Amino acid sequence: MTTSFSLAVVGGDGIGPEVTAQALAVLDVVAPAHGLSFATTDYDLGARRYHATGETLPDSVLEEIRGHDAILLGAVGDPSVPSGVLERGLLLKLRFALDHYVNLRPSKLYSGVATPLGDHVTSRGDIDFVVVREGTEGPYVGNGGAIRVGTPHELATEVSINTAFGVERVVRDAFARAQARPRKKLTLVHKNNVLVHAGHLWTRTVDAVATEFPEVSVDYLHVDAATIFLVTDPARFDVIVTDNLFGDILTDLAAAITGGIGLAASGNVNPDGTAPSMFEPVHGSAPDIAGQSKADPTAAILSGGMLLDHLGFPEAAAQITAAVEADITERSSTPRSTEEVGEAIASRVAGGVPVG
């Protein structure tokens, strides 16, 4: 019996469509062996549509996308469009409207992967953590404004919104993830020595929810110190829970120490299932390499794996991870095109790489 899922595909801008094509190709290879099939709908959203129609994400299109089982997204943003228009009007509109309150960003250092950490890395297998980034609040909600723009007296605000409801649900999700992992450790990252209003809400919430998860050990780091330890002692982390902005910044750093931004996958998860979750690489549209087949599609392919896991097919997801791990372990210094990397991973999936 085949289970069919509908997938909304938003390639987006720059390298987005290039890497998404490879992720879809890998999903097509892995699906039949697990009794799965995908009906995909491509959405022309991003800079091209914006220039043609002035639209970023019309509500009618949002509602169509909402009708799918899951979303695969490439990246959004283009130098020809004022900064923020597509990022807010398309990407964040999707995340907020579909209540993607858990922005899940795993980081693992695979064997053979070059890392700038060099001699700091004593045991690669120990660098295996996940950042649970709040996805619908914080300074990204657009609560702010500017007056006297362009004058020496300009005043601009960008207010970080943190609700007890929003913080508690993501903190509870992070605890549940920590509970399910072997090390059962959760680190709250914030800046509660300065951002006392939001910071104390996060701290109190973690303390309260911790009582429901007595097996999980909890610690706290200010975000500035967290950046130190991500470089000097990344193995100390298991599950990090943090707000939208800190999580955005920390996960680019996490990507850099575990092999680069081209390997970092993510899921924008709606854990309640009230709307489809969305899977995308951590990276952006990389205008500096767009259209040159230089983008590493691995992050997009791994995001496809996260999508499978979310839909309830962990064995299929593990097959993708195993194929990626085998590919990156054997990568040579000879550069490969986006398509070559995608095809190499797809053929390892097709060949049935043993899942370790």
Ligand X SMILES: NC(=O)C1=CN([C@@H]2O[C@H](COP(=O)(O)OP(=O)(O)OC[C@H]3O[C@@H](n4cnc5c(N)ncnc54)[C@H](O)[C@@H]3O)[C@@H](O)[C@H]2O)C=CC1
Tokens of 228: 């130190």
State in angstroms the smallest separation of the CB of 320 from ligand X.
Answer: 16
Q: Edge-to-edge strands of the sheet including 128-134?
A: 36-42, 3-12, 70-75, 277-281, 265-269, 102-108, 128-134, 239-242, 185-190, 217-222
Residue found under tokens 């950042």: 131
Binding residue for ligand COI, selected from 72, 282, 346, 353, defined by CB under 6 A: 282
Distance from C-alpha of 231 to C-alpha of 117, rounded to nearest angstrom: 7
Residue 181 in marked binding region: no
Identified catalytic residue from 108, 110, 191, 309: 191
Q: Does 113 bind ligand X (CB under 6 A)?
A: no
Restricting to residues 205-244, which ones interact with ligand X according to CB under 6 A?
none
Distance from C-alpha of 141 to C-alpha of 158, rounded to nearest angstrom: 9
- Annotated active-site residue 140? The verdict is yes
The SS3 call for residue 193 is coil
- Annotated active-site residue 248? The verdict is yes
Restricting to residues 46-85, which ones interact with ligand X according to CB under 6 A?
75-77
Q: Among 345, 356, 355, which residue's Cα sits nearest to residue 27?
A: 345
Q: Does 134 bind Mg ion (CB under 5 A)?
A: no
- Annotated active-site residue 173? The verdict is no
Distance from C-alpha of 194 to C-alpha of 208, rounded to nearest angstrom: 21
Binding residue for ligand X, selected from 134, 238, 280, 309, defined by CB under 6 A: 280
157 DSSP β-pair partners: 145
Binding residue for ligand X, selected from 21, 289, 344, 350, defined by CB under 6 A: 289
- Annotated active-site residue 224? The verdict is yes
- What is the amino acid identity at position 176? A
8 Å CB contact between 339 and 23: no
State in angstroms the smallest separation of the CB of 105 from ligand COI.
Answer: 8
Restricting to residues 228-257, which ones interact with Mg ion according to CB under 5 A?
248
Provide φ and ψ at 317, rounded to 5°: -65, -45
Q: Among 93, 86, 83, which residue's Cα sits nearest to residue 141?
A: 93
Residue nearest to Mg ion (CB): 248
Residue 293 in marked binding region: yes
- Annotated active-site residue 219? The verdict is no
Question: What is the size of the binding site for ligand X (CB under 6 A)?
Answer: 20
State in angstroms the smallest separation of the CB of 81 from ligand X.
Answer: 8
Distance from C-alpha of 65 to C-alpha of 50, rounded to nearest angstrom: 18
Q: Does 87 bind ligand COI (CB under 6 A)?
A: yes
Per CB under 6 A, which region of 18-26, 85-93, 231-239, 308-316 contacts ligand COI? 85-93
Question: What is the size of the binding site for ligand COI (CB under 6 A)?
Answer: 5
State in angstroms the smallest separation of the CB of 92 from ligand COI.
Answer: 5
Residue 284 in marked binding region: yes
State in angstroms the smallest separation of the CB of 24 from ligand X.
Answer: 15
Residue 105 in marked binding region: yes
Identified catalytic residue from 140, 173, 238, 327: 140
Question: What is the size of the binding site for Mg ion (CB under 5 A)?
Answer: 1
Which element (helix H / strand E) includes 73? strand 70-75
The SS3 call for residue 132 is strand
Distance from C-alpha of 224 to C-alpha of 161, rounded to nearest angstrom: 21
Tokens of 99: 């209540």
Q: Does 344 bind ligand X (CB under 6 A)?
A: no
Q: Does 248 bind ligand COI (CB under 6 A)?
A: yes
Q: Is the dihedral of CA 91, 96, 97, 98 positive or negative?
A: positive
Residues that bind ligand X (CB under 6 A): 15, 19, 75-77, 87, 91, 261-262, 280, 283-289, 295-296, 299
**Which amino acids are annotated as binding site for NAD(+), given as ranges?**
284-296
Q: Which of the residues are catalytic? A: 140, 191, 224, 248, 252
Q: Which residues bind Mg ion (CB under 5 A)?
A: 248
